[in-house]
Structure 1
Amino acid sequence: MVLRLSEKETDMEDKLSASISYLQKLGPEYINQVFESSRWIFEQDRDMAFQIFTSVNVELPRTQVTDCLNKIDPALSARHIEYLIAEKEEASPAFHDRLAELYLNMTLSARKGGDEAKQSEVYSKLLRFINTADHYLPDRLYGLLPENLYEARAVLLGRMGRHDHTLELHVYKLRDYVKAEEHCKRTYNPNTVARSIFLTLLKLYLRPTDKTAPNLLQPALDLISRHSPRLDTIETLQLLPPLVTACDVRSFLQEALRAPIFDSHVVRDIHKARNEQVARKLMLLETRRFRVTDSRICPQCHKRLGTSVIAVHAPRGEVTHYQCRDAFARALNDPTR
């Protein structure tokens, strides 16, 4: 019947339109006929053929239509589910799970076939879907993912509340520190356990669990400068390595000092860090040696040093008589000198 209708038309678009119009009027009792007759239309023009299953007058069983289209091309099946979700407000987890799985299988198929453009396109759809949809089961999809789809794994782990593992993937596998920070911003809640999410990320930077991780001090300092109000002051100071100076975390310290209650432990840790810096400078100075000969002249009084008690001046290491040290130090610090 469908072919006879199309034979009356000479223009291909008119032929297809007549057949599509006829099939759109057939109800569920003729579903097998619709499937069989739609195949040749799909061979001619997929976009036009797809209209058969988007009729506003008659709706065919959704699952059977999805199965039929999947046999023709999984991309058509995915398109049909996209239509159901967008236009028919389909909220069944079965359809949402199936769409995510179709995106995944198409991504892997394109990768296997070496089609990088197709892989990128479909993988982007998968990432967008699992980031925004609410009716699929993350743990089910996670079990289907291969190991090396790190970004998809990170999204699903976050959906399952395993935020520490999400951040590990962003930091150690993807090395995408911006997305790690964005995940923290989406997750942070001062009234739940998620209030420590920024501290978790800071620990991953400064106490790496991956031995192959690069030096992550700079991302750590950037995180501290941007999100100091969301970081526990005591724990942050305890995490910082000794070589970090007060200047490196100035904004963080200023923010902490403005807090209504500034814990004495913070003051203690600041003094400790300062003392460690001074100790390192002293140790460096103590390792330097200076040779004093009979002919060496004191730059202050211009007399020979001889066997007198001497003083060494930082930072360049000038050597003077001990009794000349104060005068020489004043001269060094004189800006007009």
Structure 2
Amino acid sequence: MGQHRQALEIYVFKLEDYVKAEEYCNQLHKAEDNAVADGVPPRCVALLAYEEDKPSIYLTLLSLYLSPPHGYQARYGPALEVLAKHGSRLPPNSALDLIPETLPVQELEFYFKGRMRAANSILNESRIVSSLQKQEHVKTQAQLLVGEATDGSATRARHVTITEERVCGMCHKRIGGSVINVFAE
């Protein structure tokens, strides 16, 4: 029905079942990924620059833990678990805005390490793709300029050696130092 925040409130505050709340988020996240990526290879877990503004179900769960409705206490333990397991799926600006200033940075070390790993994996993936594209470009240039074909035959690199003894196949004259035109046989 699209009322995910209310469902998470029931799991977190009424039932106090944090595992079920996380499973609910996992199911929704999986359903979103399947709906978006039908036929597309799985993307990197980390958020890309254009995805940082999209609402995340994990961000909703984190906001319930750290900024609970009136009458409930903040739950730092489950919030830290969400940051540990799904921190790379959270928009960093929004997640850091939710974290209270009283929480020691040392407890968030794993979150920052996870974000750095995710950013590095995106960077490394783009470097690999760039290198593969450069290699493909070099291969194409070699085929065009030198004539190296993929099947092992050289098309433009074919050469003909002309000596004093070589004779024309049509008129049987010696070729020697004359101007020549070679036709494919």
TM (normalized to structure 2)? 0.50
Higher relative contact order (CA 8 A, sep 6+): 2
TM (normalized to structure 1)? 0.28
Which protein is bigger by CA-based radius of gyration? 1
Q: Which has the higher helix share?
A: 1
